[in-house]
C-alpha cells in the first residue's frame, strides 16, 4: 500500500494542499520504505488545489493520506477516489507518522474534520456591519425625501 504525507523539511506539514512536497511511502510486511518525494506543482494556484493534489496522488498509486488536516473539498475528493485519511499532529517526522497510521496510533477520519476556527461573514450584528439599520437608520425612503 502506498501512503502519501505532506512534508515540509522532513516533518508533517500543517497544511495539505499547499505543502511544498509529498513523501510517498510503501508499506508492506517488511516495513515502511520511502519510495519518492514529489514536489507540489499546484502550490501557487489560487483555489481548488485540494482536489487537484488528490488527483495527482491517486495517479501515483497512493491509497492513503497521513496529514495534519485537509480541507472540505480535498476530503470529498479523497472519498470519491476511495482513499483513506489518517490525521496526525503537525511536526511529527514523516516516517513516524506513517508508522503511527498503520499501528492505529493515528486517527482514521471517515468524516470530514471539523474546521471550527473559521468565522463566517453573516449579516448579524457584528463584524463591522452596524445594527442592520442601513443608511437611513430604519426610517425608510421618506427620510431621504424630506417627509420628516
Of residues 5 and 130, more confidently modeled:
5
Q: Compute and round to an integer the Cα radius of gyration of the chain.
A: 23
In angstroms, the CA 123 to CA 102 distance is: 45
45: closest CA among 35, 55, 37, 36?
Answer: 55
* Burial letters 74-88, b for 16+ CB under 10 A, else e: bbebbeebebbbbbb
CATH 3.30.420.130 is held by the domain 2-108? yes
**Using one digit for the tens of pLDDT, what is the confidence trace for 52-104?**
999 999 999 999 999 988 888 888 899 888 898 888 888 889 888 888 888 87
Amino acid at each position: 500500500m502506498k501512503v502519501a504525507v505532506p512534508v515540509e523539511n522532513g516533518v508533517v506539514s500543517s497544511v495539505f494542499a499547499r505543502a511544498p512536497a509529498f513523501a510517498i511511502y510503501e508499506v508492506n510486511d517488511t516495513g515502511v520504505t520511502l519510495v519518492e518525494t514529489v514536489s507540489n506543482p499546484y502550490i501557487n494556484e489560487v483555489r481548488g488545489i485540494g482536489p487537484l493534489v488528490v488527483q495527482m496522488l491517486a495517479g501515483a498509486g497512493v491509497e492513503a493520506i497521513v496529514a495534519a488536516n485537509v480541507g472540505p473539498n480535498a476530503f470529498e475528493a479523497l472519498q470519491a477516489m476511495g482513499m483513506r485519511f489518517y490525521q496526525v499532529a503537525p511536526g511529527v517526522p514523516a516516517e513516524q507518522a506513517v508508522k503511527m497510521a498503520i499501528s492505529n496510533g493515528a486517527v482514521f477520519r471517515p468524516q470530514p474534520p471539523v474546521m471550527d476556527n473559521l468565522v463566517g461573514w453573516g449579516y448579524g450584528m457584528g463584524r463591522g456591519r452596524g445594527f442592520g439599520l442601513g443608511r437611513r437608520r430604519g426610517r425608510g425612503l421618506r427620510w431621504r425625501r424630506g417627509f420628516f
